[in-house]
Every structure is written in C-alpha cells, then in structure tokens.
Copies of this chain bind each other. A is one copy, B any other.
Amino acid sequence: MTQGTPTLAAGARKVTADEVVQPFITEIQEACAALPEASRPKMVAFLASSDPAAVKYAQWTAKTLERDGMRFELREVEADDLDEAVQKANADTSVHGIMIYYPIFGMLPGFSGASADHALRDTVSLSKDVEGLCHFYRRTLYRNQRYVDAEQARKCVLPCTPLAVVKILEHLDIYDRKLSDDSQLSGKTITVVNRSEVVGRPLAAMLANDGATVYSVDIDSTYIFRRGKVEHVSAEATTEQFVRESEVVILAVPTDSYKMDPSWVKEGAIVVNVSHFKNIDGDALLATRPGVRYVPAVGKVTIAMLERNLLRLRENFAGCSRLMWDSSTGCVEPAPPVSSP
C-alpha cells in the first residue's frame, strides 16, 4: 500500500477531516455523557429508497451517533407513507431530531420527484429539523437572522454540509476573530463551484453573511454574493478568473467528470473538496502550488454538524409540542403544552 511520500510544494499541506473533526467529537461526546441515558438526544431518520448511497449514509449516521452516545432510530417506510410518518415523529416529544434520506424515488399524494423532496423538507417541524433545510431555516439563513427567537436565546440550526465547510475554514484560521461575527471574512474572496439548494447556494450565502465576497459558479451562470445582496456576473468572466482571485475554493460538483485545473489555484489558498467525487487532482495541486492547504473530503465533519444540530434542537425545543410564531418579528418560540382537559 505504501506509495512513497508524494512530493509537496513548499508549505503545501493536506488537511484531513479527522484533524478538523476531533474537537467536535470530544465536545459532542462530553455533552451526551453528561446527560441521563433516557434524555440523551434522539434522532429518527427515514429511509424510503434502496439507493445504495442512501443506505450507506444511513448506516454511517447510525454508527456515528451511537458511538457518541446519542440515540438513533432508522425507520424504513414506503415513499407514500412518509408524510404521515414524519407527522407522527413531529408529534412525538421524545424525538429531538428528524432527518430524511433524499432523494425520494416515489410519489407523495400530489407531488413527485424534486417537488416531493421539497414538500417533505417543509413537513419536518422546525423544532426537529436537524438538516436545517425547511423554509424557516432557509429564510433565517438568507436573511442572516441568527436566532430562532426574539430574545436571542436559541440559535438557528444551519444546513450540515455548508456548516462543515465553515468549521473547516475556522479551523484553518481564515476567520478574523477580532472582528464582529458578520465581518470575520471581510476582505476574503471565495469561489464556490456548484449552486445546489442543499450545499452550494446556502454555503455562498453563509460565507457572504460573514463578510466574504463569494463567486457562486454554476453550469450556466455566476453570481456574486455579498451579505444579502446577489448580483449577476457578466457572461464573459470565467471560472478561472474567479479562482485566480480566491483565497478559498470550494468544490461541490456531483459528477466525476468535473476536474478543476490545479494551476488556477492561488499560492497559499485553501481548497475544500465537498463532492463525493474528486473535483481536482489533489496530488497535483499539492505538488505544484506552494502554501496550498487541500481538504479532500468533508463527510466526517458533516456528520458531526448533524450531531451538533441535534444537540442544539434538543436544547432549544426538548419536550415542546407547540410553537408560537410571531408575524411581526418572524421569530418563533416554544409554547407551553395545552393543559389536559
């Protein structure tokens, strides 16, 4: 298996997810160990497909959560029964978090394909949405509203994969902690390749919320995200130009055919490969670009963020079956249960 040490350009370094995730695992395990068995965070996950990637992800979440002292229950259901099953888990106060393995390859009454996935995301109660993908959290994210409630006692959850990237960048010290929360990336230029609703788009918005200038590149268009503002970029500008300007490059293209030319990457830049496919030749990058730090995979950090979200939802909403939504603030707070008759 030994292939010899690959050549590295001066100061270039590969950064593993293991290196980043370790402090989070410790923190999560300590938080769980401090709780009595019966009130440990409990997640219910729904699997409604036999897609091998979904099955594998389900097994991996199970193993990780159990290792860390959390309770995990996988419910295998028909796509037709998912809405009802999610509704039941919403109503169960012993459940702290709900996740669904997408995509759903079936029909819901009145929905199919992507619109079924969309409808299901919004069916998960915001008090249990570990993935942070329901309308409420999408909207707080894009509005840079960081708390669920007006008292700012309950922080919003953020979608796991984009959050994992943020934590990786924090670990690599590109956030300027001397500045306020929403300016710690100011002066930084970041390119995010791919603009999916689950990863690329929310990540671009989150980095812009923290002050960065973000080029959000997709097959047919590029937008610049700057703190709540989005502008279209002229069709003549190329991805190569954006990448050459960027201190950070995020690669999230879900195909094996996309390969970024390593020579585009600035010296000293950070490259994070979020896709399950390698969107760049990491060895060539590390061998040729001085000072580059390359993160080849983020999956382990993503699962840690799922666990962190579960802990946060438990803190924010444990035992709460009613939510009060205030239309004048757009904020939500837990409400006391109805007294039984």
Contact = CB atoms under 8 A, between A and B. Distances in A.
Interface in A216-264: 223, 225, 228-230, 232
B335 A125 contact: no
Interface string A192-204: 0000010001101
Given A90-B327, A118-B118, A110 B322 contact: no
A335 B123 CA distance: 22
Contact of A327 (B118, B125, B223, B325): B125
A139 interface: yes
Interface in A68-94: 80, 83, 87, 90-91
A109 B142 contact: yes
A325 B328 contact: no
Interface string A98-110: 0000000001111
Contact-residue size bin, chain A (C-beta under 8 Å from the other chain): 35 or more
A115 B197 contact: yes
Given A118-B118, A122-B135, A201 B110 contact: yes
Nearest to A90: B327
A113 to B, nearest CB: 11
Interface string A112-144: 000100110011010100000001001101110
A216 B307 CA distance: 42
A119 B138 contact: yes
Nearest to A320: B327
Interface in A315-330: 321-330
Given A139-B119, A205-B110, A87 B330 contact: yes
If over half of A's interface residues share one DSSP class (helix, strand or loop), that class is named, otherwise mixed; here it is: mixed
Given A109-B142, A123-B139, A138-B119, A322 B325 contact: yes
Contact of A109 (B115, B135, B229): B229
Given A110-B202, A110-B205, A119-B135, A143 B323 contact: no
A323 B325 contact: yes
A230 B91 contact: no
Contacts of A107: 223, 230, 232
Nearest to A204: B110
Nearest to A221: B112
A324 B138 CA distance: 21
29 contacts: A80-B229, A83-B139, A83-B143, A90-B328, A107-B223, A107-B230, A108-B230, A109-B205, A109-B229, A110-B138, A110-B142, A110-B201, A110-B205, A110-B225, A111-B142, A115-B197, A119-B139, A122-B122, A122-B135, A122-B139, A321-B326, A321-B327, A322-B325, A323-B324, A323-B325, A323-B327, A324-B335, A325-B325, A326-B338
